[in-house]
C-alpha cells in the first residue's frame, strides 16, 4: 500500500512539473506583457520594470527561477498587484472559494443523487419527466445567468438575502445555489441513467421479492453500483468547484480564488498564472487519485491496485 | 418531415418481414425493434420533432422577416415583442427574431460538431486506456490530467493569435480539452464492466479485445456516454459565448445564442426578452437532446420491458 | 424520501429568513459606503497609474497644491508659492502640518519622493510626468545623478523647483497625484510600507487607511491630524470592491451603497435609459475624448481623404442618443470643451462630403468599391466599445456600401497590436492628465513616441508644438496651439467621436462631493444630511 501511494505521489510531482513547464512555454509564446497600459509607458521605464522583476533575463534563466521557486513554495510576487505574493493570494482566496464550493458540492451530491434515484424508480412516469425537465434546465442555464436571475429575484425583488459580498452564511446561499445547479442536474442524470439499467438486474428483482421497499433497495443495493460514473465526475468537479467559479464570484463580489484564473491571464501576471495553475493541478490530481481509490472501494472487482501490494 | 421518415422506415421493416422472415439476421430485427421502442416513447418523439423544427427554423427563419441580422435601427432599440418585431429588438434596434435564427445556426453547428468530436475522441481514448490497463492506462490518464490542468485561456489566446478568430478556431479550441471528461467517464465505466462475467465469457470464446470493446463494453456504457454528450453540448455553446465575449471567437455583428444570452443578461431587469429568447431556445434544444438521448438509451437496451 | 427532501429544503428557507435587514445608512454616524470597481494594484503614490489606486491615494494623501472648484488651483500642503521672472523656478512654502504618525511634513519628503520616482531602478509607471523638472529625463536614464535634479530643499519648509522650460500648467501638474509626497522617514527604511494598512502606511490627507482587505473592501476613517480636519465631516468611508457593475447597481438600489458609477466605477449601459426616465441619473463633463485612431502608415488610411471620409460618415449624435446616453457632445475636434472652447473642424454626419471624399480616395488609390480589400476595426473587450463599434460599422455600411470587419480582441493583445501598429482603425480614448491641450498633443508630437499609435507626423504640427512649449506668453501660446489643432484636424489622424461625460447615481442625503473633470472625486467636504 505504501509503495502504491509513494508511486502515485512520484507520478503526481512529475505531472505537476510537466504542467508548470507547459504553462511556462505557453506564457512565453502569447503576446502582451504585464506592464503595458493604454497610455504607453516610455521605454526606459518599461526597462526598469522588467529589470526589477527579472523579466529581461533569457528564458532558461526565468524557467530555472520559476521551478526553483515552485519547489520551495516561493511562488513569487504578483506583477500587477504590487506588494502581494502569489502565496498570499492563494492563501486568502482559497478558503473562501473552498467554503462556498463545499456548500455547493454538498447540495449537488445530495439533491442530485436523490432526484436521480427518484426518477429511476418512477421510470417513465410523471416524476421522471418532471425531474428530468428540472435537470435539463440546470444543465442548459449556465451559472452566471442563474446567479443574475437569483440575485434579481431574491435579493432585489423579495429582499430576502444580501445582494453580494461575503461574510455570513446568508451571503453564501445564493452563490451556492447558482454553483450547484449544473452539478446537481448532471449527477441526477448520471444516477438515473445507471439506476434504470441496474433496476432491470436480477438481484434487484430478488430483493424486491424478498420484501424490501424501494427506498431500501436503492440505498442498499442499487446506489453502490450506479454511482461509479458520478464518482468519476466528482473528481474534476470537486477541483473546479473548490477553486472557485469566475462568473459566480464576480457577480456576487466574493473574494475567492476563481476570479484569479481568468484575471491573471488577462493581466499577463505570469507568476500568478503559474502559481494558480500548479495549485489547481495539484488539487486535481489529488482528487483524481482519490476517485481511483474510491473506485476500488465501491466496486471491489475493479483492480487498479496491484493484487500483490494490497495489504 | 418526421412523418416521412416514419413511413419510410415502417415500409422498410415491412418489406423485410415480408421477404424472408426466417433468414433475417438478428441485426435488422434489433434496429427495427429499437425504432419501435423509440416511437412509443412520447417524450423522445417530442424531442426528435422539436429538434427537427429547430433545425428547420435555423435554415428558414431568417428569411421570414424583412430584416437582416445586422441592420440597426437605433431609434427602435430595446423594444418589446410586437407585430413588427416578433421577438423584439436588441440594444441596437436589430430584429431579434432574425438574429435568433442566425444564432441558431452557429450555436447548433458549434454545439453539435464540438460535442461529436469530443464524443469520438473521448470514447476512443477512455476505452483504449481502460482496456489496455496497467502502465499505459496510467500514462494516458496522467497525460489527460496534465492537458486538463493547463490554463485553457492561454491555449485559446495562442490559437487566436496563430490562426485568427472565427468558427473553426472556436471548434478547435473547444475540442482541445472537451473530450477529457468523456474519456474519464468512459474509462471508469469500462473498468467496471471489464470485470463482469459476460466479458470473461467472451474472452474465453476467443473474441479479440477490439471486438469485446466494440460489441460489448462500449454499448453497455452508452447510458453514461449519452448523458455526458447531452452535457457537452450546452457547455460548448456557452464556452463559445465566453470565448467570443473575450474576443476569441465569432465577431460582431454575427451572434450565437450564447453571445446573445451574454448580451441580454445585464438587461434582465429592463428588457427581459433579450435574454429570454436565446436562453429559452438553448434550454429547449437541450431538453430535446436529453429526452431524445434518454429515449435512445431506452430503445437500445435489450433488457427493457415495454 | 420525498419527505426528507422537503424537510431539508424547508430548513434552508427558515435559516435564510432569520436575518437582519441592512440599514439604509448608519444612524448617528457620518459614514458612507462606496464601491471601488477594481482592487487597487498598489497604494504607493510613487507607482500608481490606474484610476482605482489613484482614487484611494487621493483620499489619503495631499500634494503641495490641490485642484479646487471650477478649475482653480488652491494651496494644500504648501500655503504659498512664488514664481521667478522667467517662470522656471517655483518656490513652495509648506505649512505646518503632520503625517498621521505625528511626524512633521517637510520639504525633504517631497524632494525624496520625486527623486525616488526618477531613480533609474525604481519601477514607477508614470515617471515621465516628472520630466518637466530640470534634468528629469537625464536622471531617469542614468545620465546624471539625482543631485542634478531641479529640486532642492532650501529649509524644512521651503522647496525650490526648477523646470526644464516654463509651462503655464505646472501648478496643475503639482496638484495631480504624480507629484504627491510620501513620508521619507518611512519609505526609505521600509520599501513595503504601502502593501498593507497598518502603522507603516502613513499619509497626510483628509482620511486614514484603516483597513484593507484585498479584493474585498477598504475602510477609511477621518484623519484627526489633517491640517484642515475641521471641515471634514465624514467619520468613515467604506469601499467595497465589486467588479460587476450590475451587482453594484443592485446594491445601490437595495440601499447597501450610497453611490454608484463614475468616477470610482461604471454604470451598466443597459440600465442607463431606465435611470434617465426615472430622472435619477447625474451626468457631468469630463476632460477627455473618445475617438478612433487611424494607422496612417498602412493601407488604406495612409490616404487623408479616406480618413476624413470615414470620420465624417459617423453619426455621432445617434450614437450619443441611443448608446452612450450620458448627454455627451459630438466631438468635432480633438481637444474637449473643458480645456477650451471647441472650434468645430467638421460637421457631424456629413454624409455628402463623406461619400465624395470616399469616392475620390478610391480613385486616388486605384480601387473600386468591390475590389477594396477588407478593412478591420479593432477594439478591446467591453460592453460599450462593442456596441459603439457595431453601430459605426453599420453606419459605414450605409454610407459607403462596404462592410468593415470588427475585431474584438483581448485587452493585452489589443495593447500589443496597438504598440506594434498592427491595426487599421482602433478604438482609443484619453482623459486629460492636466488642464492644458498639451496633455493631448504630447501624444502625437513625434511619429515614434510610444504613445503615437497612429504613426502620424507632420512637420508643421511638431514645430508649432515645440514652439508653444517654449512660449511663456499665454495668449501667444494658445494661438499657436489653436493652429496646431487646425493642422491636426485637417489631416484627421484620428476620428473624434464624443467628449466624455461621467454618469453616476447618488443618494440624496449624500452631499458635498466635489467631482473634477479629471475623473477625481473629492470627499473632503462630503457629509450626510441627516433628516
The phi and psi torsions of C408 (rounded to 5 degrees) equal -90, 105
pLDDT bin (cut points 50, 70, 90) of residue A32 is: confident
Of C8, C124, C251, the CB nearest to A163: C251
Contact B290 A144 (CB under 8 A): no
User: How close are the terminal C-alpha atoms of chain B, in Å?
Assistant: 26
Which ipTM was obtained for this model? 0.85
- CA neighbor of A132 nearest in space, from A219, A176, A191: A191
- CA neighbor of B122 nearest in space, from B59, B31, B185: B185
Mutate to test the interface with B, among A22, A27, A139, A297 (most CBs of B within 10 A): A139
For residue C464, the surrounding DSSP H or E stretch is helix C459-469
Chain B residues close to A229, C-beta within 8 Å: 185, 188-189, 224
The SS3 call for residue C271 is helix
Q: Are C90 and C163 in contact (CB under 8 A)?
A: yes
Cβ under 8 Å to B: C residues 321-350:
321-323
Average pLDDT of the segment spanning B199-207: 81
Touching check for A67 and chain B: CB below 8 Å?
no
pLDDT in the model for residue A202: 78
What tens digit of pLDDT does each residue of B27-73 get? 556 677 777 777 777 888 888 999 999 999 999 988 898 888 888 88
Chain A residues close to C128, C-beta within 8 Å: 42, 45
Mutate to test the interface with A, among B122, B154, B159, B246 (most CBs of A within 10 A): B154
Q: Is the pLDDT of residue B306 over 70?
A: no
Contact A140 B286 (CB under 8 A): yes
Joined together, the cell numbers standing for residue A26 give: 505557453
pLDDT in the model for residue C14: 60
Identify the residue whose cell numbers are 492563501.
A91
pLDDT in the model for residue A310: 40
- Give one word for B302, left, alpha or beta, with left for phi > 0 and alpha for psi -120 to 50: alpha
Of A42, A51, A155, the CB nearest to C250: A155
Of A37, A80, A151, the CB nearest to C250: A151
Q: Which residues contact C517 (CB under 8 A, 6 or more apart)?
A: C71, C284, C285, C286, C287, C338, C432
**A84 secondary structure, DSSP code:** -
Touching check for B248 and chain C: CB below 8 Å?
yes
Q: Which residues contact C64 (CB under 8 A, 6 or more apart)?
A: C76, C77, C78, C81, C92, C94, C110, C159, C174, C175, C179, C181
CA dihedral for A182, A188, A191, A193, sign (positive or negative)? negative
The neighbour count for residue B179, using CB atoms within 10 Å, is 26
Contact C246 A251 (CB under 8 A): yes
- CA neighbor of B296 nearest in space, from B235, B225, B234: B225
pLDDT bin (cut points 50, 70, 90) of residue A307 is: very low
* CA atoms within a 13 Å half-sphere pointing along the CA-CB vector of C463: 2
Closest approach of chain B CAs to the CA of C410, in angstroms?
6
Contact A80 C12 (CB under 8 A): no
Chain C contact partners (≥3 CB pairs within 8 A) = A, B
Q: Are B189 and A231 in contact (CB under 8 A)?
A: no
Of C270, C322, C380, the CB nearest to B267: C270
The SS3 call for residue B113 is helix
Q: Are C30 and C141 in contact (CB under 8 A)?
A: no
Contact C246 B266 (CB under 8 A): yes
Instruction: Report d(CA B70, CA C343) in Å as an integer.
Output: 35
Average pLDDT of the segment spanning A143-165: 87
Cβ contacts from B onto C, under 8 A:
77
Touching check for A309 and chain B: CB below 8 Å?
no
Per-residue pLDDT of chain C (531 residues; tens, 9 = 90+): 566 566 666 666 665 554 444 444 445 578 999 999 999 989 999 988 888 999 999 999 999 999 988 778 999 999 999 999 888 999 999 999 999 999 999 999 999 999 999 998 888 888 888 999 999 989 988 899 989 999 999 999 999 999 998 888 999 999 999 999 999 999 989 988 998 998 999 999 999 999 999 989 999 999 999 999 999 999 999 999 999 999 999 999 988 999 999 999 989 888 888 898 888 999 999 999 999 999 999 888 999 999 999 999 999 999 998 888 888 899 999 999 988 888 888 989 999 999 999 999 999 998 888 888 889 999 988 888 999 999 999 999 999 999 999 988 888 888 888 888 999 999 998 888 888 898 899 888 888 777 889 989 899 999 999 999 888 888 999 999 999 999 999 999 999 999 999 999 999 999 999 998 888 889 999 998 876
CA dihedral for C516, C521, C524, C525, sign (positive or negative)? positive
Q: Are C531 and C509 in contact (CB under 8 A)?
A: yes
Q: Are C43 and C212 in contact (CB under 8 A)?
A: yes
Of C120, C215, C453, the CB nearest to A48: C120
Chain A residues close to B185, C-beta within 8 Å: 229, 232-233
pLDDT in the model for residue A212: 75
Average pLDDT of the segment spanning B143-153: 90
Contact A190 B146 (CB under 8 A): no
Touching check for C273 and chain B: CB below 8 Å?
yes
Touching check for A194 and chain B: CB below 8 Å?
yes
Q: Least CA distance to C253: which residue of chain A?
A: A156
Higher-pLDDT residue of C54 and B302 is C54
pLDDT in the model for residue A144: 86
Determine how β-strand C282-294 pairs with β-strand C425-431.
antiparallel
Buried b (16+ CB within 10 A) or exposed e, C99-131: bbeeeebbbebbbbbbbbbbbbebbbbbbbbbb
Average pLDDT of the segment spanning A104-118: 91
Q: Which residues pair with A226 in a beta bridge?
A: none
Joined together, the cell numbers standing for residue B215 give: 460489441
Q: Which residues contact B305 (CB under 8 A, 6 or more apart)?
A: A200
Instruction: Report d(CA C285, CA C331) in Å as an integer.
Output: 13
For residue C79, the surrounding DSSP H or E stretch is strand C78-83
Chain C residues close to A38, C-beta within 8 Å: 415, 428, 430
Greatest CA separation for chain B: 76
Amino acid at each position: 500500500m505504501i509503495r502504491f501511494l509513494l508511486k502515485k505521489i512520484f507520478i503526481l510531482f512529475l505531472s505537476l512539473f510537466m504542467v508548470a513547464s507547459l504553462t511556462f512555454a505557453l506564457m512565453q509564446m502569447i503576446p502582451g506583457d504585464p506592464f503595458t497600459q493604454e497610455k504607453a509607458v516610455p521605454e526606459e521605464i518599461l526597462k526598469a520594470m522588467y529589470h526589477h522583476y527579472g523579466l529581461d533575463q533569457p528564458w532558461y534563466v526565468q524557467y530555472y527561477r520559476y521551478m526553483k521557486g515552485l519547489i520551495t513554495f516561493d511562488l513569487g510576487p504578483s506583477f500587477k498587484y504590487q506588494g502581494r505574493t502569489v502565496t498570499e493570494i492563494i492563501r486568502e482566496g482559497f478558503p473562501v472559494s473552498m467554503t462556498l464550493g463545499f456548500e455547493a458540492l454538498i447540495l449537488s451530491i445530495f439533491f442530485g443523487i436523490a432526484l436521480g434515484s427518484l426518477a429511476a424508480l418512477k421510470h417513465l412516469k410523471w416524476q421522471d419527466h418532471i425531474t428530468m425537465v428540472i435537470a435539463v434546465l440546470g444543465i442548459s442555464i449556465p451559472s452566471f445567468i442563474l446567479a443574475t436571475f437569483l440575485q434579481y429575484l431574491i435579493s432585489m425583488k423579495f429582499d430576502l438575502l444580501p445582494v453580494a459580498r461575503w461574510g455570513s452564511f446568508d451571503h453564501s446561499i445564493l452563490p451556492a445555489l447558482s454553483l450547484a445547479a449544473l452539478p446537481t442536474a448532471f449527477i441526477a442524470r448520471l444516477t438515473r441513467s445507471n439506476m434504470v439499467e441496474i433496476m432491470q438486474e436480477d438481484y434487484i428483482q430478488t430483493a424486491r421479492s424478498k420484501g424490501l421497499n424501494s427506498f431500501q433497495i436503492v440505498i442498499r443495493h442499487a446506489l453502490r453500483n450506479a454511482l461509479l460514473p458520478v464518482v468519476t465526475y466528482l473528481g474534476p468537479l470537486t477541483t473546479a468547484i473548490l477553486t472557485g467559479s469566475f462568473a459566480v464570484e464576480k457577480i456576487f463580489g466574493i473574494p475567492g480564488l476563481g476570479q484569479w484564473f481568468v484575471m491573471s491571464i488577462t493581466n499577463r501576471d505570469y507568476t500568478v498564472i503559474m502559481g494558480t495553475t500548479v495549485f489547481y493541478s495539484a488539487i486535481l490530481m489529488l482528487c483524481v487519485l482519490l476517485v481511483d481509490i474510491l473506485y476500488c472501494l465501491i466496486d471491489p472487482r475493479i483492480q487498479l491496485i496491484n493484487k500483490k501490494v494490497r495489504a | 418531415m418526421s412523418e416521412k421518415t416514419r413511413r419510410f422506415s415502417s415500409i422498410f421493416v415491412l418489406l423485410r418481414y415480408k421477404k424472408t422472415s426466417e433468414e433475417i439476421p438478428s441485426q435488422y430485427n434489433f434496429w427495427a425493434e429499437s425504432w419501435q421502442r423509440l416511437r412509443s416513447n412520447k417524450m423522445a418523439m417530442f424531442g426528435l420533432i422539436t429538434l427537427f423544427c429547430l433545425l428547420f427554423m435555423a435554415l428558414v427563419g431568417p428569411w421570414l422577416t424583412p430584416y437582416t441580422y445586422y441592420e440597426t435601427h437605433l431609434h427602435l432599440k430595446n423594444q418589446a415583442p410586437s407585430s413588427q418585431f416578433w421577438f423584439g429588438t436588441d440594444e441596437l434596434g436589430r430584429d431579434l427574431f432574425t438574429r435568433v435564427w442566425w444564432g441558431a445556426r452557429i450555436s447548433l453547428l458549434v454545439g453539435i460538431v464540438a460535442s461529436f468530436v469530443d464524443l469520438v475522441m473521448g470514447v476512443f481514448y477512455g476505452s483504449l486506456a481502460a482496456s489496455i490497463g496497467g502502465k499505459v492506462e496510467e500514462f494516458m490518464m496522467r497525460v489527460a490530467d496534465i492537458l486538463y490542468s493547463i490554463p485553457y485561456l492561454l491555449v485559446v489566446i495562442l490559437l487566436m493569435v496563430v490562426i485568427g478568430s472565427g468558427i473553426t478556431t472556436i471548434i478547435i479550441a473547444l475540442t482541445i480539452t472537451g473530450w477529457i471528461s468523456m474519456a474519464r467517464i468512459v474509462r471508469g465505466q469500462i473498468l467496471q464492466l471489464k470485470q463482469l462475467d459476460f466479458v470473461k465469457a467472451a474472452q474465453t470464446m476467443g473474441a479479440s479485445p477490439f471486438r469485446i470493446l466494440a460489441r460489448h463494453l462500449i454499448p453497455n456504457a452508452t447510458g453514461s456516454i449519452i448523458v455526458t454528450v447531452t452535457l457537452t453540448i450546452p457547455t460548448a455553446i456557452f464556452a463559445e459565448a465566453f470565448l467570443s465575449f473575450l474576443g476569441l471567437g465569432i465577431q460582431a455583428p454575427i451572434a450565437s445564442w450564447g453571445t446573445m444570452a451574454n448580451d441580454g443578461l445585464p438587461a434582465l431587469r429592463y428588457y427581459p426578452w433579450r435574454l429570454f429568447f436565446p436562453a429559452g431556445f438553448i434550454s429547449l434544444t437541450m431538453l430535446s437532446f436529453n429526452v431524445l438521448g434518454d429515449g435512445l438509451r431506452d430503445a437500445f437496451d435489450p433488457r427493457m420491458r415495454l | 424520501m420525498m419527505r426528507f427532501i422537503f424537510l431539508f429544503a424547508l430548513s434552508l428557507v427558515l435559516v435564510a429568513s432569520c436575518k437582519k435587514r441592512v440599514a439604509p445608512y448608519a444612524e448617528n454616524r457620518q459614514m458612507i459606503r462606496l464601491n471601488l470597481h477594481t482592487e487597487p494594484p498598489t497604494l504607493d503614490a510613487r507607482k500608481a497609474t490606474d484610476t482605482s489606486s489613484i482614487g484611494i491615494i487621493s483620499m489619503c494623501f495631499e500634494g503641495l497644491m490641490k485642484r479646487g472648484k471650477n478649475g482653480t488651483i488652491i494651496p494644500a500642503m504648501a500655503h504659498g508659492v512664488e514664481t521667478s521672472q522667467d517662470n522656471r523656478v517655483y518656490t513652495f512654502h509648506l505649512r505646518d502640518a503632520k503625517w498621521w504618525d505625528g511626524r512633521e511634513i517637510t520639504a525633504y519628503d517631497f524632494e525624496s519622493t520625486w527623486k525616488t520616482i526618477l531613480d533609474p531602478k525604481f519601477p514607477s509607471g508614470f515617471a515621465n510626468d516628472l520630466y518637466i523638472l530640470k534634468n528629469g529625463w537625464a536622471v531617469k536614464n542614468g545620465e546624471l545623478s539625482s543631485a542634478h535634479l531641479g529640486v532642492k530643499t532650501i529649509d524644512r519648509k521651503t522647496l525650490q523647483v526648477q523646470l526644464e522650460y516654463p509651462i503655464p500648467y505646472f501648478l496643475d501638474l503639482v496638484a495631480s497625484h504624480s507629484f504627491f509626497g510620501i513620508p521619507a522617514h518611512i519609505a526609505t527604511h521600509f520599501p513595503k510600507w504601502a502593501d498593507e494598512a497598518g502603522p507603516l502606511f502613513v499619509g497626510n490627507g483628509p482620511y486614514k487607511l484603516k483597513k484593507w482587505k484585498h479584493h474585498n473592501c477598504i475602510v477609511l476613517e477621518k484623519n484627526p491630524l489633517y491640517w484642515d480636519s475641521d471641515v471634514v465631516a465624514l467619520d468613515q468611508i467604506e469601499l467595497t470592491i465589486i467588479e460587476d457593475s450590475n451587482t453594484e447597481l443592485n446594491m445601490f438600489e437595495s440601499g447597501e451603497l450610497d453611490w454608484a458609477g463614475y468616477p470610482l466605477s461604471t454604470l451598466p449601459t443597459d440600465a442607463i435609459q431606465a435611470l434617465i426616465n426615472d430622472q435619477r441619473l447625474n451626468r457631468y463633463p469630463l476632460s477627455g475624448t473618445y475617438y478612433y485612431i487611424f494607422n496612417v502608415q498602412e493601407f488604406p488610411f495612409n490616404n487623408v481623404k479616406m480618413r476624413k471620409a470615414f470620420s465624417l460618415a459617423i453619426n455621432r449624435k445617434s450614437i450619443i442618443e441611443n448608446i452612450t446616453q450620458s448627454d455627451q457632445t459630438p466631438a468635432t475636434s480633438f481637444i474637449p470643451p473643458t480645456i477650451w472652447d471647441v472650434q468645430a473642424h467638421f460637421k457631424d454626419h456629413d454624409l455628402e462630403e463623406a461619400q465624395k471624399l470616399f469616392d475620390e480616395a478610391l480613385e486616388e488609390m486605384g480601387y473600386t468599391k468591390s475590389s477594396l480589400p477588407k478593412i478591420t476595426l479593432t477594439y478591446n473587450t467591453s460592453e460599450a466599445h462593442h456596441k459603439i463599434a457595431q453601430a459605426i460599422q453599420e453606419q459605414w455600411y450605409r454610407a459607403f456600401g462596404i462592410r468593415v470587419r470588427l475585431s474584438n480582441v483581448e485587452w493585452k493583445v489589443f495593447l500589443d497590436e496597438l504598440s506594434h501598429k498592427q491595426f487599421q482603425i482602433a478604438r482609443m480614448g484619453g482623459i486629460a492628465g492636466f488642464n492644458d491641450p498639451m496633455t493631448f498633443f504630447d501624444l502625437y508630437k513625434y511619429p515614434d513616441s510610444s504613445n503615437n499609435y497612429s504613426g502620424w507626423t507632420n512637420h508643421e504640427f511638431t514645430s508649432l508644438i515645440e514652439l508653444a512649449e517654449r512660449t511663456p506668453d499665454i495668449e501667444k501660446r494658445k494661438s499657436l496651439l489653436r493652429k496646431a489643432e487646425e493642422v491636426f484636424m485637417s489631416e484627421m489622424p484620428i476620428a473624434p467621436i464624443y467628449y466624455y461625460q461621467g454618469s453616476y447615481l447618488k443618494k440624496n442625503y449624500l452631499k458635498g462631493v466635489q467631482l473634477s473633470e479629471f475623473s477625481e472625486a473629492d470627499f473632503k467636504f462630503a457629509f450626510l444630511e441627516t433628516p
